[in-house]
Structure 1
Amino acid sequence: MRAERLVSLVLLLRQRGRLTADTLARELEVSTRTVLRDIEALSASGIPVYAERGRHGGFALLPGFRTELTGLNHDEALALLTAGSGRGEQMFGLGSALASAMRKVVDALPESHRATASDAAQRVLVEPKTDLLSRRPVTEDVPDTTMIVVRRAVLAGHKLRIHYAATGQPPQWRTVDPIGLVTVRDRVYLLATRSGEDRTYRLSRVLAAEEVPEPAQRPSQVDLDRAWRERCAQFLSSDHIAVLVRVNPAWREDLLSAAVAVRAEEPDADGWLRLEVTFQDLRHAEWALWQLGMGAEALAPHSLRTALRSRGDAFAARYEETR
């Protein structure tokens, strides 16, 4: 781990020039004291790093210094593969590995291309924290310690013990055979089997995780996309309510963010959209459609239309003018 950090420290100084100890500590996610010890270790090993005093001081390398660097490690290669899937590096706990990998990639570029690549990277922003309406994405936090253990068990093919809090149930320990990890709308799911039965676990509900040295009972090859589609079909076949709804296109994303799943979608005659969506139950559907106001209309089932009308009547009665 320290060798990788020392390489990253050299790359930072090569690519960005003079940097303060505080800046290096933030980039490497360590303490300032650790950075100072690493600087001493680099100097002792013959790396020409020196300190500049004063208000604009910091640490820098002698101009023209270059050394052979090690290749990508496993996590860095994995970070690059998942980076193209949106915020995969964050969802799978690979953010620091991605940063380290990209420093190595930039360092490997020819000198004539390096400035161009750096400038291009500044002009592309992927998945900002807010959209044009200043809405922050609803991201479920998974502790790095949990994510690392789960990811390691999935990739190593080992059994996994998880302390899982299922909806409406007290947390329980269970041992599973992990198959793969899937992200959907900033949620991370673990696909696994338990006693031979398919199971899907939301990682935000995993309170603790332990990797078991015993090999997982699973096929050597997996079509994760197909497995996810099958899990979705199985999930939708359980006790959920299907709702037929008309929605203004401007409110489509709000509807989808509240629904459990979308079964069908087609344009309607007046420019609106007609969708068949799934909710957890009638109460969930009523709450979701009420949030959309006049931007949507529930067509079926009749019980949902009745519930919304009753709620509207009660709302109107409360705000009726009194004389």
Structure 2
Amino acid sequence: MIFRVRADRLVSLVLLLRQRGRLSATTLARELEVSTRTVLRDIEALSAAGVPVYAERGRRGGFALLPGFRTELTGLNHEEALALLVAGSRRGAQAFGLGSALASAMLKVVDALPESYRDTAAGAVERLLIDPETDLLARRQVAEEVPDAIVAEVRRAVFAGHKLRIHYAAVGRAPRWRTVDPIGLVTVRDQGYLLATRAGEDRTYRLSRVLAAEELAEPAQRPDRVDLDRAWQERSTRFRTGGDQVTVLVRVNPARREDLVGTALAVLAEATEADGWLRLEVTFQDSRHAEWALWQLAMNAEALAPQWLRTSLRNRAAAITTRYGAPS
């Protein structure tokens, strides 16, 4: 495994030099996510293997390949091919622990292009930005961080059809170990989920709450085929209609509609009022979730019902007014 990882890294190093020309050891280390010392060792290994890489000294120096050097380095490994299949969403690849594989695969894809297309493609990519980390209001879209080792272990169990042992921290409960039969992986709004069954009952686990994972040798009890989209829709419906969800009737400024809808579980009804504001009936996970969502919208929304929510928001506003009513 260690040798395969290093071989993939050496291939990526050569492709970086082929496509970008001269690069410093610091830049190579950043691109390959290793130390500069590791880069220098890799350069020595390539030279010993006959790859014509040389160093240029000076302030603008770095490492480069002899002009015209080319070799067949474009074969994709399993994880790189898988990364390309989920590359419709760059964040999806990150959520499934395939970010580095995707970067490596794309280097190989670009290298496989005819030279006349390669420069055109590189120039076009510079003019496309998909799903940036911040929006126009500089609000950062925070993706959940899940250790690659955990995601890789979960992913292996899903693909191999083996049982999976996870150390899971459910909300409001102490972490504990449980053994599940994995069905598939889903990513929604930068959040990754594991769909599984446990003792024959459907279960959905948030990957960011998995503290450790272990693929077992025992085969999972699951059907040979699965309609993952349908399974997710069914679980989403059960989630929205069960538990402690609350339904709220709210007026909202149309300019802030998406902010409200983005925090709600579901929109049950919607209409436009005479003054242009929108009247929506929405559901939230629980009372605290509803209060938090309406408070974020300040004067751009008004909770019409239920009364306990209006009272709670009024009491919170009164407390803020009292605190700031007197000089500091």
TM-score by length of structure 2 reads 0.91
* Residue aligning to 2:281: 276
Instruction: Confirm or deny: 8 A CA contact 2:43 2:53 kept in the other structure.
Output: yes
Q: Which residue of 2 aligns with 1:285?
A: 290
Asked if 1 retains the 8 angstrom alpha-carbon contact of 2:245 and 2:286, the reply is: yes
**Equivalent residue, structure 1, for 2:202:** 198
Paired with 2:108 and 2:86, the residues of 1 have a C-alpha distance of 17
- Deviation (angstroms), 1:314: 4.6
In structure 1, distance between residues paired with 2:200 and 2:122: 49
Change (3 A) 1:245 1:68: same
Shift of 1:320: 5.7
Instruction: Please show how residues 11-160 of structure 1 align to structure 2 within 5 Å.
Output: 11-160=15-164
Q: Cα 1:29–1:314, aligned 2, differ >3 Å: closer, same or farther? A: closer
From the superposition, tell whether residues 116 and 70 of structure 1 become closer, same or farther in structure 2 (CA, over 3 Å). closer
Q: 1:265 Cα deviation (Å)? A: 4.5
CA distance in 2, matches of 1:10, 1:283: 54
Match of 1:307 among 285, 308, 312: 312
Cα drift, residue 17 of structure 1? 0.8
Which residue of structure 2 aligns with residue 249 of structure 1?
A: 254
User: Aligned-residue CA RMSD in angstroms?
Assistant: 1.9
Q: Note closer, same or farther for the CA distance 1:320–1:68 as it changes in structure 2 (3 Å cut).
A: closer
In the alignment, is the contact (CA less than 8 A) between 1:176 and 1:192 conserved in 2? yes
For 2:80 and 2:326, the matched residues in 1 are separated by 65
Change (3 A) 1:283 1:47: closer
Shift of 1:280: 2.7
Bigger shift: residues 71-80 or 85-94: 85-94
**Number of equivalenced pairs:** 321
Determine if contact 2:162/2:182 at 8 Å carries over to the other structure. Answer: yes
The alpha carbon displacement at 1:321 in A equals 7.8
Q: Which amino acid aligns with 2:48?
A: A
The answer on whether the counterparts of 1:91 and 1:186 sit within 8 Å (CA) in structure 2 is yes
User: CA deviation digits over 1:141-192, x for unaligned, max 9?
Assistant: 2112211111221122211111111111111100111111111222111111
What is the Cα deviation at residue 272 of structure 1? 2.8
Tell me, yes or no, if structure 1 residue 295 matches structure 2 residue 295: no
**Alpha-carbon displacement from aligned partner over 1:185-239 (angstroms, at most 9, x marks no partner):** 2211111100110001111111111111212111111111111111111112222
Give the share of equivalent positions with the same residue, in percent: 75
What's the secondary structure of 2:183's corresponding residue?
strand
Cα distance 1:169–1:53, how it changes in 2: closer, same or farther (>3 A)? same
The SS at the match of 1:284 is helix
Please say which of residues 246-255 and 269-278 is displaced more in the overlay. Answer: 269-278
CA distance in structure 2 between the aligned counterparts of 1:239 and 1:99, rounded to whole angstroms: 42
Structure 1: how far apart are the matches of 2:66 and 2:326? 79
Residue 21 of structure 2 aligns with an amino acid whose one-letter code is G
Aligned with 1:176 (options 175, 180, 188): 180
Q: Does the 8 A contact of 1:265 with 1:273 survive in 2?
A: no
